[in-house]
């Protein structure tokens, strides 16, 4: 069977991406790790946690740690505005809330349209968390690999914070 180029494009792997903003820049993550998107409210601070740790939220009876992704990337902090959101994701079997400035939309892009980061960029900064770049509406979007944003040790620490907060709320 002889398939032409146009027909081949129809079979290209598609990926759904949740687009969000931080510090005026557009980022994206795979929809398949996103549980839901909620307003940035009801965060309870937990003492003696890393700077990028906002605290925890109670989401329908589950205590979930919330991380400020802007702080994690040294871009400032997510402010409590009407557009600020928490993206609830699952990373390494851990549910984490990720605070961002704004969630804009979910798009479908071709796997072929994602360009990997340059080896030069990878050598200049710790950029393992970058899965690649995609041009969307004439804007270069940074596609993140959430399994590389946090170390396994940090994931374990977030799990401990979740357990500690859960124990405290059970005692009340």
pLDDT tens digit sequence for 131-161: 889 998 888 999 998 888 877 777 777 777 7
What does the pLDDT read at residue 170? 53
Residue with tokens 């899965």: 131
Q: Which residues contact 66 (CB under 8 A, 6 or more apart)?
A: 43, 53, 54, 55, 56, 57, 86, 96, 97, 98, 99
Q: Is 66 exposed, middle or buried (0-12, 13-18, 19+ CB in 10 A)?
A: buried
- The structural domains of the chain, ordered by start, are 14-171 (2.40.50.180)
The structure's pTM equals 0.82
Percentage helix, strand, coil, to 5, in the chain?
25, 45, 30
Quick one: average pLDDT of 118-129? 64
- Across 71-97, average pLDDT: 93
The span from the CA of 161 to the CA of 22, in Å, is 25
| pLDDT class of 1 with cuts at 50, 70, 90 | very low
Whole-angstrom distance, CA of residue 50 vs CA of residue 156: 13
Q: What is the pLDDT of residues 24-78, one digit of tens each?
A: 999 999 999 999 999 999 999 988 888 899 999 999 988 999 999 999 999 999 9
Q: Tell me the pLDDT of the chain averaged across its residues.
A: 84
């Amino acid at each position: 069977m002889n398939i032409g180029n146009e027909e081949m494009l129809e079979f290209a792997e598609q990926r759904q991406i949740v687009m969000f903003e931080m510090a005026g820049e557009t980022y994206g993550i795979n929809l398949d790790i996103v549980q839901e998107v909620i307003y940035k409210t009801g965060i309870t601070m937990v003492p003696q946690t890393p700077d990028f740790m906002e605290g925890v939220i109670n989401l329908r009876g589950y205590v979930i740690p919330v991380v400020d992704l802007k702080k994690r990337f040294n871009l400032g902090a997510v402010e409590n505005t009407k557009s600020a959101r928490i993206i609830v994701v699952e990373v390494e079997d851990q549910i984490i809330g990720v605070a961002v400035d704004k969630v804009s939309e979910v798009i479908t892009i071709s796997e072929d349209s994602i360009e990997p980061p340059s080896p030069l960029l990878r050598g200049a900064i710790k950029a393992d968390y970058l899965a690649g770049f995609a041009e969307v509406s004439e804007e270069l979007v940074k596609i993140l690999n959430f399994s590389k944003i946090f170390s396994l040790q940090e994931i374990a620490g977030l799990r401990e914070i979740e357990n500690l907060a859960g124990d405290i709320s059970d005692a009340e």
